């Protein structure tokens, strides 16, 4: 696979989902709401909604929260009207950063992002300035368990995925974005437990980061992740494992 998301790897190793569960819940509720607004409340006919619900289940979000978010999206309950947007910029060492936004106030969100980028040595860029450096792909994460790479290769082909790679004790399965949930269904039909399934922006090439720029870019990424209006953050940095100081 051409490049991969180092930031996704770092988040999994740090257990960021557990540490920031409140923010994760808020982000998923926004996603469910807008997915239901755009495609209806029937998850069987709305792949985006189904994916959002699957993510909600993966972090043990209460079913009532999911139902309320759907009803707010369909207009059955009053709710906030969220807008989608994408912002682009650069961090230290020329690292390209993409941000996917769900917000009820774009002006506020842009001001906050601009402040964070400036604070940590980056800058907000024009639309299209870094988007060309990323490919949109579905990514499914499963534990290796008893599967060899040879066995997984056969499974990936049978299930309709494009590619896979190994990362520590996990397989990262790559799909066409539109096929993500179909491939997930095929894997689960083989009794394979899926840890997560996401549509992500995968960098085409990685930018090496060393020295003082490592702390700078990680601090920026964490600050952006903490912002409640930012749904996802992607970057094309490549940082050596020994420089990350992540507890295994």
Q: What is the pLDDT of residues 61-76, one digit of tens each?
A: 999 999 999 999 999 9
Domain range 14-74, its CATH number among 3.40.50.2300, 1.20.1440.20, 1.10.1270.20, 1.10.10.200: 1.10.10.200
Query: What is the CATH topology of the domain spanning 83-132+204-238?
Result: Alpha-Beta Plaits (3.30.70)
Residue 18 CA to residue 21 CA, distance in Å, equals 5
| Stronger pLDDT, 248 or 173, i.e. the higher one | 173
Range with top average pLDDT, 6-10, 76-80, 106-110? 106-110
Within a 10 A sphere around the Cβ of 179, how many other Cβ atoms? 16
The predicted pLDDT at position 146 comes to: 73
List every span in the chain annotated with CATH 3.30.70.980. Answer: 83-132+204-238, 134-203
Residues of the chain with CATH 1.10.10.200: 14-74
| Segment 26-29 long-range contacts (CB within 8 Å, at least 24 positions apart) | 26/228, 27/102, 27/228, 27/231, 28/52, 28/55, 28/56, 28/59, 28/61, 28/69, 29/65, 29/69
Q: Is the pLDDT of residue 27 over 70?
A: yes
The CA distance from 90 to 111, in Å, is 16
Q: Which CATH class is domain 134-203?
A: alpha beta
Give pLDDT, residue 167: 82
148-183 confidence digits (pLDDT tens): 888 888 998 899 999 888 887 889 999 999 999 999
Sheet architecture: strand order including 196-203? 163-167, 170-175, 134-143, 196-203
Share the mean pLDDT of the chain: 88
**What pLDDT score was predicted for residue 2?**
44
Find all residues with CB under 8 Å of 5, minimum gap 6, and list them: 139, 200, 201, 202, 203, 234
Radius of gyration of the chain (CA): 18
Strand segments, DSSP code E, in 91-224 are 96-103, 123-124, 134-143, 163-167, 170-175, 196-203, 207-208
- Which residue do the tokens 């990514």 mark? 139
- Rounded average pLDDT over 25-35: 93
CA angle 149, 171, 87 (to 5 degrees): 145
| pLDDT attached to residue 147 | 84
> Which residue do the tokens 């972090």 mark?
59
Residue 219: pLDDT over 50:
yes
């Amino acid at each position: 696979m051409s490049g991969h998301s180092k930031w996704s790897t770092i988040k999994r190793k740090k257990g960021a989902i557990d540490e920031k569960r409140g923010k994760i819940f808020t982000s998923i509720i926004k996603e469910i709401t807008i997915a239901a607004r755009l495609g209806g409340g029937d998850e069987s006919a709305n792949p985006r909604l189904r994916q959002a619900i699957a993510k909600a289940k993966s972090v043990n979000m209460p079913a009532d929260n999911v139902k309320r978010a759907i009803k707010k999206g369909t207009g059955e309950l009053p709710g906030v009207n969220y807008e989608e947007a994408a912002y682009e910029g650069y961090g230290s060492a020329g690292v390209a950063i993409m941000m996917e936004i769900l917000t009820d106030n774009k002006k506020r969100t842009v001001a906050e992002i601009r402040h964070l980028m400036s604070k940590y040595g980056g800058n907000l860029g024009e639309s299209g300035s870094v988007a060309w450096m990323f490919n949109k792909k579905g990514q499914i994460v499963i534990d290796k368990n008893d599967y060899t790479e040879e066995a997984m290769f056969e499974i990936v082909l049978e299930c309709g995925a494009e590619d896979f790679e190994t990362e520590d004790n996990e397989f990262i399965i790559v799909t066409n974005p539109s096929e993500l949930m179909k491939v997930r269904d095929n894997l689960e039909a083989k009794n394979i437990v899926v840890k997560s399934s996401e549509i992500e922006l995968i960098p085409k090439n990685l930018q090496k980061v060393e020295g003082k720029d490592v702390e700078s870019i990680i601090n920026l990424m964490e600050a952006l992740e903490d912002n409640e209006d930012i749904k996802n953050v992607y970057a094309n940095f490549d940082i050596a494992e020994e420089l990350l100081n992540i507890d295994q």
